[in-house]
Amino acid sequence: MHAGELGVLAGILVPLGFFMMIFGVVYLNKREKLAMIERGMDPRTYKPQSAPYQNLKWGLLLIGSGVGLFLAFILDHTIFNYMDDETFFLYIALIAIFGGAGLFLSYKIEKREVLDKEDHAPQK
């Protein structure tokens, strides 16, 4: 395929994909509301459940990924001396390890907070 043919193909597929995405979102939203009506719920009063620790989770994930990226940069420039082929995997591995450590820390904090709330709740 030539560049002109790819441009025409992209000009057709991108708007078509965008239309299908919008149609799918609207269709699934309407199906959800119909299912709520069938169960006797009022869709106008429905509020999605909040995730109280969502900001903590994202914050620790991004901090962990940033620390991993910074550590990989430091290791690349000091120990490995700009070895291009091997250091790519170092960057990916350290971002994943420290990002996972951030998520694990978030889990531990959430668990501790939930257990503290249960311990201090009034007994019935």
Give me the amino acid identity at 115: L
> Is 31 found in the same domain as 1?
yes
* 28/63 same-domain check: no
Quick one: tokens of 50? 């909040």
pTM for the complete prediction?
Answer: 0.58
22-57 per-position pLDDT tens digit: 999 999 999 999 999 999 988 888 777 777 889 999
61 and 104 share a domain? Answer: yes
Place of tokens 């969502």: 54
Number of domains, the chain: 2
pLDDT tens by residue, the chain, 124 residues: 677 888 888 899 999 999 999 999 999 999 999 999 999 988 888 777 777 889 999 999 999 999 999 999 898 888 877 666 677 888 999 999 999 999 999 999 999 988 887 777 666 5
Q: Which of helix, strand or coil describes residue 1?
A: coil
Fill in the DSSP letter of residue 87: H
Residue type, position 75, single letter: L
Question: Residue 44: which domain range?
Answer: 1-48
